Structure 1
Amino acid sequence: MKFSTRFAWTLVAFGAVSSSLITGCGKRDIEPHSSVVVEGLESQELASYEQFKTSVVPILESRCALSCHGVPVADYDEFIHRSENAGFFYFPVDPLTGRIPADDATMTQAFHVTRGPVGEGDGHGGHAHSRVAYGEGTAFSPLLRVPLAGDQGGTPHRGMDVFNSSADEDYRVIADWVDTELALRPVAHAELPHEQAVFRDEILPLLVRNGCFVASCHGPLVFNDMKLAMPMPSPDGKFDPKRDMSRAIVATNHKIMLGVKSRFANLGGDLKLSRLIVKNLPLELGGVHQRGGNIQFFDSYDDPDVQTILKWLTLEKKALAAKLKSRDKPILIEDIGRLQGVAFIRGPRHQPRRFFEFDQFWPGSDIIIAPNARGATTTGVKRDPFNLTAGLHPDGPVEIQSFDVRYDGRAIVFSMRDSAERGFRLYEVQLDNNLKYIADSLREISHFADRLDDGTLIHAIDPIYSPGPNDDTGTVLDDVRVSFASNAAGTYTPSDMFGILGEADGGDNGTIIDSQRPEAAGTFDGRRLYVVDGPDKGEWRKIVKHTNDEESVVGAKLQLDKPLAHTPDRRTVFMIEQTQASNLSSFDVWRCVPSKHEDLKQAFTETLRRVTFRAAQDRRLSMRSTGEVMMTSVRNMGFQGDRPVFNGAIFRMMAGGFDYHIQGGNRARYPIYCDSRELPQGLEVRMGTDPRNYSGGGMLMLADHGFGIHIEPENPVDDIPLSADNDVLGKPLKPASRRYLPATAPFFPETGQQAITHTGRSPGGSYRDPFPLPDGTILVSRAVDEVNHLDPNADPDWDIYRISFSGPMQNRRGDAVANVELAKVDSGATTDSAEYWPRPIIVRLKEKPKTHQKFAPRTDGKKPTLVDGVLRMPEGLPGEIECYDYPLLQSFLVNFAPTGARDFKVGLEGPTPRESDPDHMLRYVRVIAQVPPTRDEVQPISGDGAEADPFATAISKGVHTRKLIVSEIPLEPDGTFYAQVPTEVPLIVQGLNHNKMAMHSMNRWFYLQPGEKLTFSIPRKIYPHLCSGCHGSLTGNSYETMGPPDVVSAASQVMATWDPVAKRRRAAYSGGESSADHISVDFRNDVQPILDAKCISCHDGSGPEAAGMDLRGTPTKHYTVAYETLHRLNQPESGNHADKRFINEREGSALESSLMEKILGRELDAPQTLDTPGVPHPAPEGLTEQELLTLTRWIDLGATFLGGHSKGKQPGAPLARRETAQ
């Protein structure tokens, strides 16, 4: 059942409402029904109907209609059928009297909606909209429980408490009517299955004893995946699950404890490793860190409560096993989680390849299977390994990139190519019960063309199995989809860092030491270094000698050509120049449904779907137990805070590409996080690596997503000068959360003689391709000897190992993995070949087969349809963004770690009041769409002279691509906005001040599916209750972390989406239906005419008035004179293109551009000091408002030479306005 806070109606004449509606709750004076027939009612319902009219209706009118649930009769039918109102409790009223009209048609309408559907359930696992819980005790009906006070057993009600206790006279009247309804429809209950009965009778009392139902732990308002449905208060103080919980509540909690979202019970492996157990055990006895602590629940695995849980989980596993099948045959329970063998790739040791480069062809690899004898361990294989794929390529050697094993362990999908002239393609083979290839089962799954029109090879790589379209229960293990990465969309993107960041750990005026910069000695000789933060910010030097630091062994010791003014300290952040661009074909996530029939090409064509749309890089797919696809998703759009942004974080998305969202690694010091996979305990193992690496390896880390944002030591990307000792220049760091625990921890030391590093020199060897097993161990590929990841001539000897843990897997502080043991898999180790990409052959459980999808509310009646198991709206349909607090959102995107106060950029209205400077207060947002560049457009162009930019292309003398403005939307006073946007295109959002200058820009492209509703942020009113436990307080003070929940203000009822005058949902702000309606700013067509009209009379490159500026549109080799002038460097000899004299191109910021300060005649945020404050330029005839806006937009879009399109709207033309939805 749903209750809404929306004010559905306003009384036209308040005085017309009788005072008895406010204070009296007696029976209403309605004539008894004289007929035996009421349309829409069965004869047996008439008595209940009469009772409803005379007893319940007066209560609804007096206590519910006036403020929340009444809707004027004339508007009711249209109102109730809007998608955003579906399921909420509304009934028709006369707006003049506040009463429900007495005619039978209206009264029966109110009767039906108050009762709700008559199916069994109570809204806690039964029918979602039922307000009478048929088949349950009276008190469990939502009509009674939702408005009841919380301490009396009520559930959250946005209308607050209506009944203070169940003794309230009106409560009793409604309860009497509910009794009547329940008697009309008795429900016969079957006995619960044994495992569910044990859960009810033994597990639920256990949870009550251990305080799990405390509202702040696992109550309905907490922000975690275990939100339990609450029991009614026990009248005698002794919990009785049969009395204090309805059957539906029991069923709901049963599902939650197993894992409705993420998996809490490890039914596919060692039950002792289930998250619901290990999160509550002491660390030293096998537990893993819990934010609430680990010592107040279970003493050990021998604790009687743990034994009870294991007893229940054993029954659950047995019940689940009885449902599993594959190839129309049942799965044996003893086969679930049993390691039947290990599959891996054996290939040549020499096959250097950077992370995003795939055109090199390294033949000579095959898939090897090492079968396990029943009961054997991975290190004690009793059967000889064999080559699975040797007979599948009789025409010569091939290259196999990666593969995945199906859930039943009887099929393998893999990516293979057979020549340098053909890209990787997907194939599938079937295995028999001995894991041998079934004859003639090889089939090609992907059927792309060989090349794009521009000649680029098309690849299909990183395939994984995911739950199939015809299995809603997740029990048919051979019903699958295949998700994979491909560059078939034909887009291109920068795929390496624009600069290499470091953070000083010591040194002197002429030397900088960075212990976490592990490149080999000499790597940076001769390169320029720019100090981007700290006491010497703005300075640059040349590195004359790069050696390795003696103390850290692997760290960098950078000798400078001349001393700095200050000794480097932990505040010193620097950037080393990159001298070469890497613009590569970009990979998106795709999926298809392999056919079991003959016409495989037709099946591929009919089920193929591109899932992500970002013109970036999406790689290394994996599955989360929630049913979401996870992948490495790179953002690389420019600079932020004077730092180049390159971040390959772990992202996740729901079925079919919906709700693209960060999972972990945002703004991390490791350029790339990949291979994120869940362990049985719910933790994740990941690899940290670098796009420049040739080896394929990196370092391993353990991550707990539940701990939120990580405070990373030695991270030059953030603004925290934090060392491994957790201090800032001798002062202790104070996290803004009450109990901070690190979200990630390395498996092995990253400095010292045995360091395992993510790039550069790794003296302790390296790791790659981690894959957890259901027994808690991890298969991994390991190179034992030192590896230089950046050496293309290095030939690491990768072998297969198993990682296990001899004790707790986390240390007490949670900042390192502990008790790691390594064992070589005998059959997965040779000296003349490399063995990598290990995968267990086991029967494993499917992830959640169906995931949540959010669609924008519609008034045209269009509804999603099921396509290959995923709900879809028609192609081309716009999506909608609902942002519930943009100032809050941007404050976290700028300062993402849980430290310090948040700057909302709203002046005095923020959590820490700031100066109310209109130039620095958010007033608008700008939605921007990228025009995906072509191959020709991203080719680096040869530059002339000292100011040549290595990242310049035909699009820009800089790092940006072509963009279009979709819309510019006023922020509502509460910081919200609601926008209609194009779908299946890359989008970002900028926050603007009163002059529409960008104060903040997102740095990662996102996208929407057709008809999707994408939500950002939450209202700041509910942040303290839902988010501060992980993300810290808004003020930076940990004692202000928690706050009271705001149950009155629904997140969906904000100023951007709700019209309080019309009492209805607003339509989304729209910038137009197609790209032709969007605004393009092209330098020659839009900016140069302004320069011609207002500037070149002085700034023609000659005479003192020109001030050294030539703003004429004379063509040059690649651009024009004016364009190159505006991109001039502040210090040409520095080569620092992040420090341009007139504009901040790297960050795309007009607010930080001296050109705009000069034109406006006032200081903004440019680093230079304005020499003519208070004097706008040019004088006396300055730029018009529209001309200023054009220049602002041009810089904020990245100061590109080419605009989004050549014939778009004129810059400065009004954008589409929002009208109230009709």
Structure 2
Amino acid sequence: MKHIGSTRAVRIFLLLCILYVLLITWLWQAGSLDTAMPEGSASRQLFDTEVVTLLDRRCSNCHGVSVEEYDQLEADPASRLLLRWPVDTTGRISSPEFRKVAYERARTTRTEGGNKLVPIDVGNPALASKLLLAPLSETYAGMSMVHPVTFTSPQDSDFSLLKEWVQAEIDSQPAPTRIPASPPEHFFVEQVTPVLERKGCLGSNCHGLGVFNDLKLHPGVPVLEGRFTADMHHQNRLSMLGRGNAQVNMVHLSGDIEQSRQLLKNIPISQGGILHKGGNNFFSKGDPDYELLLRWLELEKEEASERANAALGEERGIVFVRRPRNLPQRYFEDEDFLPGGDLIWLQAGEEINLTAALHPDGPADIRTPDVSYDARQVVFAMRRNEEEPLNIWEVELDTREVRQLTFSADPAIHFQDPQYIPDHTDSSGEQLNEMALVMVSNVSGEWAASSPEGILGEAEGGNRKTILDTELTARAGTYDGRVIRIVRGTNRGQTRKISRQERGKITVDAAFKKPCDATTHYVIEAVPRLAPSYDLYRINLAAKGVEQETYEESLSRLTFGLGQVRRPSMRSSGEIMFTTLRTGWQSDRPFYNGAVFRTFFNGSNFHTHYGNRSVVPVLSDNNELPNGLEVRVGRDADSYWGGALLVADHQFGPTIDPANPTDDLDHPFANGMPEHGMHRFFRGWVSLDNDVTTHGISRGGAYRDPYPAPDGTILVAYAPGPVDLSDPEQAPDFDIIRLSANPSLQSADGLTGGSLQRERVTGNKQSSELWPRPVVVREKQRLKKSPKWATDLFGKPGTEKGLPGYGEGTPAQLVVFDMVLLDVFFEQNVPTGERRLMDGACTDCGADYSIDNQISYARVIGAQPLAAGEAGPPKRYVIAEVPLEKDGSFQVVIPSLVNFDIQSLNAERMALRSPNRWLYTMPGEKHTLSIARMLYTQTCAGCHGTLSGKHTNTFGRPDAITSASKTMAVWDDKEHTTLPPVNYDVAAKKYRTAPFSVGFEEDIKPVLARRCISCHSGTQAEAGLNLAAGNAFTQLRKQVDYRQALAIRSPLLETLLGRELQAPEPLASDPSHLHENLLPPEELQQVIRWVDLGVPQIRVKF
């Protein structure tokens, strides 16, 4: 009995094993697919009997992979959207299991990470399915897909078979329910689409799906009856409205619809148009096609108003701040108590003081109002006396009820520059009362520079003792006695003292070696000022009665910069824009760059928006106009009173300035249109009033606080000239004026501003009227971009203070797709000249670059901000140092909420260049930079110019197979799996090499004691370099380029390596002064890193 029971148990066990194997096999065959057709269905039988043979013959050589590779691809989230199926060793779909998988992969929609693979579109005719369009010649499929041509004609018998099967699949499934087209969508399909086709707007180099600009339209499918499906029409309509991913608005529905970008880009400048790289002669006002588009926009506005339950564009006057004229205020030094202001509501000719009752004990400091989307509330910053800080307050316009929204009690900790933003939880984007609030604050306690280390200039000419510069408008004597150094061109490297400075002219104390000319760029020494550092913060907009609790629970820091942040505004793409200050040294000269940056609603994806290395030191108060252009004020660090009024088109990309001393061009507009590498060149920005300057004495007066009105005009505070912008005693009289284009804000050639009409709105001689804001019901900006998370490393994000994200302490992922390509834009980003990719041979002459100049490594450096009382550059340290892959890519994990920059390194790991932009990441963020090189022409050249510098090379399509491949830093092509960052152990959740610092006292001084002091000490020290004394740090610092933090430009490293690098002076030829092989490699690396980190005296404390 015991033996029989044992045999039965074995049989049961074996049966269970067989059942288990069968179950596992079935699960593998089915995968995660739950929409399989019965194996006896007609479509399945057609697939098994005929389509499989077709796939083996025409497709499996690319889409078929081994079972092992298929399993690896399925296990990797980044690869699940690739259309692949398993094949045997002969490349055939030979087994029932393989056919099952191929069948499901060819028919089933997959979603991964917000992206979709839809082989068969069951809601449309068969010829709309990507499974048919991708392999079909673009003659019939159009250029909506990039794929090698498999079928040259729809008459191909194999294509006909595949189409038959796709139609069978569509017929076997219930048709999806469609929402009837709305009146504006129906009008778009019937009336607008024919206009777009007739005018050539859908072309591949205009607004097809592969273009670099914001407006991407589906060109339709030539082989498809009617060319378009309902889904294509719907997506095209959304794109034309500007509601596609990352788009700015293309239409203006919150006011005069004729100010819409879609209209103005296509009519002549003489009729009020704005510059269009495709030309401005598609319509004229009053043309039938123009009237059709106008009627479509009327319908869109009606629908948008109905959905928002508000009368979009309804105006209720303006609000502004009135305060005394004699209150000087620098842009980045704005903490002084400036009493005497009030918030005024001007409606129908009547003024209502909204804040008089809030400060009964004396005059208050009131600033920077903003109006809510529904035009019912106004937020502003207020400080009632010197003993309290600036806080954010809100007033209800209809009831005059006021409430406090931020609650700093420290008189040195301020909140100012409030801005309403959309609440990210409003998925529709249409509920006007669902808002949050951002503002700037110095609550971090950090400090930063507020003025430059030098005043840059570009001469027009001169002689051996004078420099002539028409842009030098400072009052006479401002720079007398200061040191001036020539940083580029004739007399480069020579230093003199200014004996007399006048408007447009500098006289020096001793003659230069040669007469100064139009190549001479100079810098006048200056001592930088420091001020409390402001960053961007966010709070939820509280319900009444819980304001302080909401403030304390929801206050979130959104930016983590080394500089200053001011004046946030919303871009219609859903991003927050603001001025961010960056300072430092680059290309042998100091830079002071208050550029416009942007970020997502949660602070992630922090990037330059406009103005990097601009000739204008500070771009302030940037706001998007109804037509998509941006208006801003250009000023310098010393201006108390504003500056020039500028208008810009972000889509024109980095621009060429007429006389920019930060670039390597010499008066590029001197002979008309400059040399450029773009298909068509327009200046990125122009001044709207050439009599007003950004600095010095402005003969035409000053502008400040511009803001768009719903009718397309610009409300701005203006004071007539002359005004010495740097004189705090000037007290100019600012009034609110309205500027109207007459006819356009731009000239037809794109090189200057247009004509303007002026209308005074309000003002008086006793006070200044500032910060005008229209009280108008307006659409909310839709949040069109989603944060990018490193989910492969850190899992899915949760919620932190109401925002999607990860807990503090979670690091971030940095992926650079092509460091070599990125490097060419680090120092000179103007769209002209050849871009030299420093990874091998010269692309122009074919000669190999010196190994010292080739990029082999990347170093990510971090920096700690200054604390109160500290001065000098930020305290730098090494986050990661990694070799580049052959394609120039790398990826690392970096600490979040930390400033970082990137240095390109040569084989000796000496820094060649860095952008000095100081970015940061949020916890768990996936931050990406650059682009694969083969995609540059298609994706980037339209704004940044061609790599060759020749504007004829701006068009091109990438190779489909190469461009679809992943970079070598993130993808193991052999194993078909993603690669982890080289410096991080994903399983253990820790760095393989932790960030580290190098200091003179801890790291360099011991090297000097071991290797150098025997020769370099005492009164007879070699080369006069005494490293034994207490001033060894100062002595050694003289031998390096510490300002630019570049070992490769330092005489010390040339001496240690025994060869010429990039130091300004030639290396000594005396062999006794060469020190080649003196230091072992590890000590040499420490010296290199120390210089590349800016020669810190002590290590950074983490």
* Same topology, TM > 0.5: yes
Could you say if the C-alpha distance between residues 936 and 656 of structure 1 is closer, same or farther in structure 2, counting changes exceeding 3 Å? same
SS in 1 for 2:205: helix
2:750 equivalent in structure 1: 814
1:616 corresponds to which of 563, 586, 600? 563
1:364 equivalent in structure 2: 340
Q: What is the CA–CA distance in structure 2 between the aligned matches of 1:764 and 1:915, rounded to whole Å?
A: 53
1:851 equivalent in structure 2: 785
Q: What is the CA–CA distance in structure 1 between the aligned matches of 2:271 and 2:37, rounded to whole Å?
A: 62
Give the counterpart letter for 2:1095 in structure 1. A
The alignment's C-alpha RMSD in Å is: 2.5
1:401 equivalent in structure 2: 367
CA contact (8 A) 2:688 2:755 kept: no
SS in 1 for 2:622: strand
2:323 corresponds to which of 339, 347, 355? 347
1:1048 equivalent in structure 2: 961
1:532 corresponds to which of 472, 487, 493? 487
Give the counterpart letter for 1:561 in structure 2. D
Quote how far apart the aligned CAs of 1:39 are.
Answer: 8.6
Q: What is the CA–CA distance in structure 1 between the aligned matches of 2:898 and 2:455, rounded to whole Å?
A: 30
1:1160 equivalent in structure 2: 1057
1:840 corresponds to which of 745, 752, 774? 774
2:1079 equivalent in structure 1: 1183
For the pair 1:701 / 2:646, whether they are aligned, the reply is yes
SS in 1 for 2:825: helix
1:473 equivalent in structure 2: 428
SS in 1 for 2:197: helix
Quote how far apart the aligned CAs of 1:1075 are.
Answer: 11
2:184 corresponds to which of 195, 206, 226? 195
Q: What is the CA–CA distance in structure 2 between the aligned matches of 1:1004 and 1:810, rounded to whole Å?
A: 30
Quote how far apart the aligned CAs of 1:1040 are.
Answer: 3.1
CA contact (8 A) 2:448 2:564 kept: yes
CA contact (8 A) 2:378 2:394 kept: yes
Identity %: 36
Quote how far apart the aligned CAs of 1:95 are.
Answer: 4.9
1:563 corresponds to which of 493, 500, 511? 511
CA contact (8 A) 1:1018 1:1051 kept: no
CA contact (8 A) 1:459 1:487 kept: yes
Give the counterpart letter for 1:526 in structure 2. G
Q: Deviations over 1:434-482 (max 9, x none)?
A: xx51x3xx2221234526xxxxx21111111111133112211110011
- Segment drifting more, 865-874 vs 199-208: 865-874
Which residues of 2 match residues 591-990 of structure 1 at below 5 A? 591-636=538-583, 638-695=584-641, 697-722=642-667, 724-726=669-671, 733-749=674-690, 755-825=691-761, 828-858=762-792, 862-865=795-798, 870-908=803-841, 910=843, 913-938=846-871, 959-990=872-903
Q: What is the CA–CA distance in structure 2 between the aligned matches of 1:267 and 1:758, rounded to whole Å?
A: 34
Q: What is the CA–CA distance in structure 2 between the aligned matches of 1:723 and 1:901, rounded to whole Å?
A: 16
1:19 equivalent in structure 2: none
Give the counterpart letter for 1:473 in structure 2. S
2:946 equivalent in structure 1: 1033
SS in 2 for 1:340: strand
Q: What is the CA–CA distance in structure 2 between the aligned matches of 1:387 and 1:601, rounded to whole Å?
A: 26
Q: What is the CA–CA distance in structure 2 between the aligned matches of 1:672 and 1:660, rounded to whole Å?
A: 19
Which residues of 2 match residues 431-450 of structure 1 at below 5 A? 431-432=397-398, 437=400, 439=401, 442-450=402-410
- Segment drifting more, 622-631 vs 153-162: 153-162
1:310 equivalent in structure 2: 294
2:108 equivalent in structure 1: 116
CA contact (8 A) 2:144 2:219 kept: no
SS in 1 for 2:631: strand
Q: What is the CA–CA distance in structure 1 between the aligned matches of 2:847 and 2:367, rounded to whole Å?
A: 54
Could you say if the C-alpha distance between residues 152 and 875 of structure 1 is closer, same or farther in structure 2, counting changes exceeding 3 Å? farther
Q: What is the CA–CA distance in structure 2 between the aligned matches of 1:489 and 1:822, rounded to whole Å?
A: 42
1:252 corresponds to which of 230, 235, 254? 235
Quote how far apart the aligned CAs of 1:809 are.
Answer: 2.3
Q: What is the CA–CA distance in structure 2 between the aligned matches of 1:522 and 1:937, rounded to whole Å?
A: 31
CA contact (8 A) 1:156 1:1047 kept: no
CA contact (8 A) 1:424 1:459 kept: yes
Quote how far apart the aligned CAs of 1:911 are.
Answer: 5.3
2:17 equivalent in structure 1: none
Give the counterpart letter for 2:703 in structure 1. Y
SS in 2 for 1:402: strand
**Unmatched tracts of structure 1, length 5 or more:** 1-37, 325-329, 373-380, 452-456, 549-555, 750-754, 939-958, 1115-1120, 1129-1141, 1207-1222
For the pair 1:1013 / 2:997, whether they are aligned, the reply is no
1:587 equivalent in structure 2: 534
Quote how far apart the aligned CAs of 1:757 are.
Answer: 1.0
How many residue pairs were aligned?
1062
For the pair 1:1102 / 2:1024, whether they are aligned, the reply is no
For the pair 1:338 / 2:314, whether they are aligned, the reply is yes
1:29 equivalent in structure 2: none
Could you say if the C-alpha distance between residues 878 and 53 of structure 1 is closer, same or farther in structure 2, counting changes exceeding 3 Å? farther
Could you say if the C-alpha distance between residues 211 and 833 of structure 1 is closer, same or farther in structure 2, counting changes exceeding 3 Å? same
Could you say if the C-alpha distance between residues 493 and 608 of structure 1 is closer, same or farther in structure 2, counting changes exceeding 3 Å? same
Q: What is the CA–CA distance in structure 2 between the aligned matches of 1:711 and 1:511, rounded to whole Å?
A: 27
Q: What is the CA–CA distance in structure 2 between the aligned matches of 1:667 and 1:880, rounded to whole Å?
A: 27
Give the counterpart letter for 2:688 in structure 1. F
Q: Deviations over 1:63-87 (max 9, x none)?
A: 33332x3454356456325331243
Quote how far apart the aligned CAs of 1:815 are.
Answer: 2.0
2:9 equivalent in structure 1: none
Give the counterpart letter for 1:805 in structure 2. A
Could you say if the C-alpha distance between residues 1174 and 249 of structure 1 is closer, same or farther in structure 2, counting changes exceeding 3 Å? farther
Quote how far apart the aligned CAs of 1:230 are.
Answer: 2.3
SS in 2 for 1:148: coil
Which residues of 2 match residues 316-331 of structure 1 at below 5 A? 316-324=300-308, 330-331=309-310
Could you say if the C-alpha distance between residues 267 and 980 of structure 1 is closer, same or farther in structure 2, counting changes exceeding 3 Å? same
Quote how far apart the aligned CAs of 1:395 are.
Answer: 3.4
Q: What is the CA–CA distance in structure 2 between the aligned matches of 1:1174 and 1:739, rounded to whole Å?
A: 54
Could you say if the C-alpha distance between residues 158 and 1067 of structure 1 is closer, same or farther in structure 2, counting changes exceeding 3 Å? farther
2:275 corresponds to which of 284, 289, 298? 289
Give the counterpart letter for 2:664 in structure 1. D
Could you say if the C-alpha distance between residues 98 and 1076 of structure 1 is closer, same or farther in structure 2, counting changes exceeding 3 Å? closer
Give the counterpart letter for 2:502 in structure 1. T
Q: What is the CA–CA distance in structure 2 between the aligned matches of 1:667 and 1:511, rounded to whole Å?
A: 27
Quote how far apart the aligned CAs of 1:94 are.
Answer: 4.3
Quote how far apart the aligned CAs of 1:582 are.
Answer: 1.4
Q: What is the CA–CA distance in structure 1 between the aligned matches of 2:36 and 2:960, rounded to whole Å?
A: 36
Which residues of 2 match residues 514-533 of structure 1 at below 5 A? 514-533=469-488
2:1090 equivalent in structure 1: 1194
Could you say if the C-alpha distance between residues 885 and 914 of structure 1 is closer, same or farther in structure 2, counting changes exceeding 3 Å? farther
Q: What is the CA–CA distance in structure 1 between the aligned matches of 2:560 and 2:965, rounded to whole Å?
A: 27
Give TM-score scaled by structure 1 length: 0.84
1:52 equivalent in structure 2: 47
CA contact (8 A) 1:146 1:155 kept: no
Q: What is the CA–CA distance in structure 1 between the aligned matches of 2:553 and 2:302, rounded to whole Å?
A: 38
Which residues of 2 match residues 443-458 of structure 1 at below 5 A? 443-450=403-410, 457-458=412-413
Give TM-score scaled by structure 2 length: 0.93
Give the counterpart letter for 1:64 in structure 2. C
**Unmatched tracts of structure 2, length 5 or more:** 1-32
2:24 equivalent in structure 1: none
SS in 2 for 1:443: strand
2:973 equivalent in structure 1: 1060
Quote how far apart the aligned CAs of 1:262 are.
Answer: 0.8
Quote how far apart the aligned CAs of 1:1077 are.
Answer: 1.7
CA contact (8 A) 1:157 1:1047 kept: no
Q: What is the CA–CA distance in structure 2 between the aligned matches of 1:658 and 1:567, rounded to whole Å?
A: 50
Q: What is the CA–CA distance in structure 2 between the aligned matches of 1:987 and 1:814, rounded to whole Å?
A: 37
2:29 equivalent in structure 1: none
1:948 equivalent in structure 2: none
Quote how far apart the aligned CAs of 1:339 are.
Answer: 2.6
Could you say if the C-alpha distance between residues 663 and 1194 of structure 1 is closer, same or farther in structure 2, counting changes exceeding 3 Å? same
Which residues of 2 match residues 134-173 of structure 1 at below 5 A? 134-155=122-143, 157=145, 159-173=147-161
Give the counterpart letter for 2:453 in structure 1. F
Q: What is the CA–CA distance in structure 2 between the aligned matches of 1:864 and 1:1033, rounded to whole Å?
A: 39
For the pair 1:175 / 2:166, whether they are aligned, the reply is no
